[in-house]
Chain A
Amino acid sequence: MATKPITFVRQMLPVIPADKSEAFIKKANKNILSAEYLKKCSDSEKKFKV
C-alpha cells in the first residue's frame, strides 16, 4: 500500500506539550489489556488447531 510522505504527518500530528505528557501517557496506559484478558485470549488461541 502506498504511503504519503512523512511531511503530511508532520502537519497533522499534534505535538504533546511537555506539561501534558504525563497526563497523555497516563491516559494511554489506561488502555493496557489486562492480564486476565490476555489469559482469556491465550485460552481462545488454544481452541484453534494449528
Chain B
Amino acid sequence: MKTRKTISYFDFSIQLLNNEFKSLTETFTCGETYPEAGLADYLKNQAFEDMETGNGVTYLVIDNSSNIIAGYCTLISSSLPYYYRTEDEEEGIYQTLCEIPAIKIFMFAVDERYQDTFYENKPISAWILEAIIAKINSMSSQVAGIKAIYLHALPSAEEFYLKNNFSICEEYFQPFSSDDDDLKVMYALIREVHIVYEKSK
C-alpha cells in the first residue's frame, strides 16, 4: 500500500516530447512488473520514433520543481467504427461501415513517484487526464472534428477511468484492431453522435 502524499504548490508544465528530454525519460518508471512497466519502456524506446513517423504525438508533464517527468500521454487520430444494417426497396438489405471521429489515448502514464500524489484533494493523474481532455476538446473545435476519446485500459487503471467519466465501449462499436485487443476499450464522448442513415455512394 503506497502512502498518500499531498503537495501544496502546483508547478507542472505540459510540453511536447523532443530530444531535449531524452535524458529525463530515462528515469521515468511505472513499476517493475508488466504490463505497467511497458508504459515506461514505450516512452524510452518508442515514443521518439513515433513522433517522427506520425504514429503518435507525446505530451510530457514535467514537475518544474524537481525537473522530473511526472507523466505523459500519447495521442493518435483515430475513429470508432461500427456497422449499420438497413434496407431499401432498390438494393435490399445492406450494411455500411461508419465511423465516429475520435482521438485515441494510445498511452497514458504517471510516474510511480506521483501515482499517490494529490493536489487540492485530487490525484495528479486526474489533473493530467483532465488537461488532456481539455486539449482534445480544443482540438475538436480548432483542428479537426472529434466526437469521441477512447483508450485501451490496463486492468489496474479501469477504475481510474470509470471515476473520470469514461465508460466501457458499447458492443456495436469497437476500434480497429491493435496490439491491445486483449484490453477493455473505454470511451467518452465530447460531442453528440448520430447514426449515418444514408448509404455512402
Contact = CB atoms under 8 A, between A and B. Distances in A.
Tell whether A pairs with B: yes
A47 B127 CA distance: 9
Interface in A13-28: 13-18, 21-22, 24-25, 27-28
Contact of B127 (A29, A37, A44, A49): A44
A16 B85 contact: yes
Given A16-B82, A17-B85, A41 B193 contact: no
B193 to A, nearest CB: 6
B86 interface: yes
Contacts of A49: 11-14, 64
Contacts of A29: 189, 192-193
Contacts of B11: 49
B61 interface: yes
Interface residues of A, number: 35
B135 interface: yes
Interface residues of B, number: 45
Contacts of A9: 81, 174, 176-177
Interface stretch (B21-29, B31-39, B108-116, B163-171): B163-171
Contacts of A33: 133, 165, 188-190
Given A38-B137, A47-B127, A14 B172 contact: yes
A38 B134 contact: yes
Given A1-B178, A16-B83, A37-B165, A28 B170 contact: yes
Interface of A: 1-4, 6, 8-9, 12-18, 21-22, 24-25, 27-29, 31-33, 37-38, 40-42, 44-45, 47-50
| Nearest 10 A/B pairs, CB to CB | A44-B130, A45-B134, A49-B13, A41-B134, A4-B177, A15-B83, A45-B131, A41-B130, A32-B189, A41-B133
Given A16-B82, A16-B195, A27-B170, 19 more contacts: A3-B177, A4-B177, A9-B176, A13-B172, A15-B83, A18-B85, A24-B172, A28-B189, A28-B193, A29-B189, A31-B187, A32-B189, A38-B133, A38-B137, A40-B130, A41-B131, A44-B130, A45-B130, A48-B13
